[in-house]
Amino acid sequence: MGDSSAVEQSLVQVLHNDDSSERTNNKTSRQKYIFGFLSTLAASAGYALMLSITQLALQKVFKKESFRLIIEMSTYQSISATMVLLIGLFASGEWKKLVKEMNEYELGKISYVLNLIGTSICWQFYTVGSVGLIFKVSSLFSNVISILGLPVAPVLAVIFLHDKLSGIKVMSMVLAIWGFVSYMYQHYLDDLKDKAEKRGKLVELSEVNNLIERS
């Protein structure tokens, strides 16, 4: 059930990103579209792997509980991601278009910069929250909660911006809810199993005590 939930979360990310690029599909070649789809799938799997590695590091390497550790893990991950993005930005030559993009921003240069700063701050809170969920629960739960909030943006866009609710968006939301329900149901089954095992041990212990008293 846990593996199924993880796969569902990856599918949600793929469908969500696929829908975001729906408007530009006519302008891109088939090869680029396939490459983008595979890249999104790899990124989804890589994100789940990163969460699992983070949980492994917290349990096997650091072996301590502190808020400082969560901040440090979030900082290291953010620095690594920033370095990779900067390498890709300069290697692809996209950095040359940043000035043009800022000048053509409809709300102005100041709004463009504030948008970037606000996005960075929000992502830092998101990273700290994700690591905190891993720290307190598990990497799978952190991934489930993260993906559960992914369809919220399209829903808000439909309500406030009157955006179209496409079939892919609906499928993305259904898969996100399905993954969350699957995780909670598996957690419920595991809890029942643990209670049954504890009851079995108590019964065995009671029988042993009765035998001792009789002897």
| pLDDT tens digit sequence for 45-90 | 787 788 888 888 888 888 777 788 888 888 888 888 889 888 988 8
Note whether 39 and 101 are within 8 A (CB): no
3-state secondary structure of 166: coil
Task: Label residue 117 by pLDDT band (50, 70, 90).
Answer: very high
Q: How far apart are CA 182 and CA 176, in angstroms?
A: 10
Higher pLDDT, 125 or 214: 125
Confidence class of residue 2 from pLDDT cuts 50, 70 and 90? Answer: very low
SS3 137: coil
**120 residue type, one letter:** S
139-143, 166-170, 176-180, 209-213, range with the lowest pLDDT: 209-213
Res 32: pLDDT:
76
Both structure tokens of 155: 């829903």
- 3 state DSSP class of 150: coil
210 touches 40 (CB < 8 A): no
Q: How many domains does the chain have?
A: 1
Q: pTM of whole model > 0.75?
A: no
Range of the domain at 108: 2-214
